[in-house]
């Protein structure tokens, strides 16, 4: 699974700072890998890991599946470039983790929910969050989707350019959860959104993230 040139993400297991480091596999041997000196993602500076440091290592394969395994810093090695030697356990110990394909942003937007068939009466709602792959919808009192499995989400996305994009997104109901005071959240996944719809959603989310970061409200 791991090969020379792969990028790894490192996190110290017993650190309170929750720092993340990025590095590349430059050489391999049975039971270990050699990486270049990792870069701290927050500071952009080289990190010097102490021998014996326990790590959680994350890697994704060609299919974008993400795996985590435990490792230990075995030492520093002088080669054609300075390297750090990490232990490499058997692949049976790798743990596959779930990773969202798209960034999800907490944002309140006016929306309308329409049935794909005639299961319920269309109604207005508000988004709780949204990504290019789905959304969570706050259902107003009296609104219900009953046993509907698929629906259409109508939504308007205002962009910084002044354009407003109106999207009609065919969606699948994932689940209903209770938020607070009896209010319900409807979780939906977009079904085969067009390339333009995905790009518009990603652009809207990116622009919102930039605005929030400027205000110190997004990390």
Q: Is 170 contained in some domain?
A: yes
Pair 68, 109 in one domain: no
Pair 125, 209 in one domain: yes
Return the DSSP state at 46: B
| 61, pLDDT greater than 90 | no
Position 196 confidence tier, pLDDT thresholds 50, 70, 90 = confident
- Model confidence pLDDT, tens digit, residues 101-141: 677 889 999 999 998 877 788 889 999 999 988 999 998 77
Q: Is 196 contained in some domain?
A: yes
- Of 63, 97, 131, the last residue of a domain is 97
User: CA-to-CA distance for 126 and 141, rounded, in angstroms?
Assistant: 12
Position 91 confidence tier, pLDDT thresholds 50, 70, 90 = confident
- Of 41, 62, 97, the last residue of a domain is 97
Q: Which residues pair with 136 in a beta bridge?
A: 129, 187
**Phi and psi at residue 192, in whole multiples of 5°?**
50, 55
User: CA-to-CA distance for 25 and 7, rounded, in angstroms?
Assistant: 6
* Structure-block tokens of residue 58: 């994350």
Pair 14, 84 in one domain: yes
Q: Is 202 contained in some domain?
A: yes
Q: Is 1 contained in some domain?
A: no
Pair 87, 120 in one domain: no
Pair 56, 148 in one domain: no
Pair 175, 191 in one domain: yes
Confirm if 168 and 152 have CB atoms less than 8 A apart: yes
pLDDT at 165: 94
- Of 44, 67, 97, the last residue of a domain is 97
For residue 147, the enclosing domain spans 105-214
Q: Is residue 100 classed exposed, middle or buried when 0-12, 13-18 and 19+ CB atoms within 10 A define those classes? A: exposed
Pair 64, 115 in one domain: no
Pair 141, 197 in one domain: yes
For the whole model, what pTM was predicted? 0.55
CATH of the domain at 74: 2.30.110.10
* Structure-block tokens of residue 130: 């949204």
Pair 209, 110 in one domain: yes
Pair 79, 138 in one domain: no
Q: Is 46 contained in some domain?
A: yes
Pair 129, 190 in one domain: yes
Pair 54, 117 in one domain: no
Residue whose tokens read 């990190």: 47
Q: Is 53 contained in some domain?
A: yes
User: CA-to-CA distance for 168 and 155, rounded, in angstroms?
Assistant: 7
Confirm if 54 and 75 have CB atoms less than 8 A apart: no
Give me the chain's average pLDDT, please.
85
Number of domain units in the chain: 2
């Amino acid at each position: 699974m791991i090969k020379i040139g792969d990028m790894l993400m490192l996190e110290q297991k017993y650190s309170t700072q929750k720092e993340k480091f990025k590095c590349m596999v430059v050489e391999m041997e049975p039971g270990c890998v050699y990486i270049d000196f990792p870069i701290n993602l927050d500071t952009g500076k080289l990190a010097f890991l102490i021998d014996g440091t326990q790590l959680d290592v994350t890697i994704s394969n060609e299919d974008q599946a993400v795996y985590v395994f435990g490792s230990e810093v075995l030492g520093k090695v002088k080669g054609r470039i300075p390297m750090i030697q990490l232990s490499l356990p058997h692949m049976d110990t790798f743990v596959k983790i779930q990773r969202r394909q798209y960034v999800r942003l907490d944002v309140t937007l006016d929306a309308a929910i329409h049935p794909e068939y005639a299961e319920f009466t269309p109604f207005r709602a508000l988004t709780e969050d949204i990504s290019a792959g789905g959304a969570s919808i706050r259902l107003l009192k009296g609104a219900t989707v009953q046993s509907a499995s698929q629906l259409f989400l109508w939504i308007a996305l205002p962009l910084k350019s002044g354009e407003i994009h109106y999207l009609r997104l065919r969606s699948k109901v994932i689940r209903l959860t209770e938020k607070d005071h009896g209010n319900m959240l409807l979780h939906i996944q977009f079904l085969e959104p067009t390339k333009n719809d995905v790009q518009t959603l990603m652009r809207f989310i990116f622009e919102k993230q930039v605005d929030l970061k400027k205000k110190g409200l997004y990390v």
